[in-house]
Amino acid sequence: MTDPELVAKRLAIIETSVRELRELARPTAIPTDVREARFVEHTLQIAIQAVLDTASHIVSDERLGEPRTNRELFDLLERAGWIEPALAGTLRDMAGFRNILVHGYDTVDLAVVRDVVEHHLSDLLLFADTVRKRLGG
């Protein structure tokens, strides 16, 4: 059984990170202000990691399968009816983006960072809302 208190803490991290990005981030300054870029990158990393932690917890506790990658967490959640296909696709992309931020697999494309802040924060909140509703909270 999924631990609602643990999940609630992770969802609060997602929501807090999104709120901070919406209130404090200056997306137009990302390409020219290293502090702005680092703040946004780090806060996105925290939010996406909380999504991954939540997904991993649910997949494990609900015995939905054994994902080989973080991206596969969202395949399993989708197949089990926890999230819609479109959201699963977006979250798979965010898992890959988080790997770039954390591990430096590629040079971070600041245009992508800006795009995430300007157009995809609501996807993180949709995940939080979807999980909360599924758990009856």
CATH of residue 55's domain is 1.20.120.580
Q: What range defines the domain where residue 65 resides?
A: 4-134
Domain count, the chain: 1
pLDDT for 137: 65
Can you tell me the distance from the alpha carbon of 9 to that of 20, in angstroms, rounded to the nearest whole number?
16
**CB neighbours of residue 20 within 10 Å:** 15
Lowest mean pLDDT among 8-12, 65-69, 96-100, 124-128: 96-100
pTM, two decimal places: 0.94
Mean pLDDT of the chain: 94
**Cα separation, 122 vs 119, whole angstroms:** 7
pLDDT, mean of residues 24-53: 96
Contacts of 127 (CB under 8 A, 6+ apart): 14, 51, 54, 83, 87, 91
Per-residue pLDDT averaged across 4-28, rounded?
96
Per the model's pLDDT, the better-predicted residue between 105 and 50 turns out to be 50
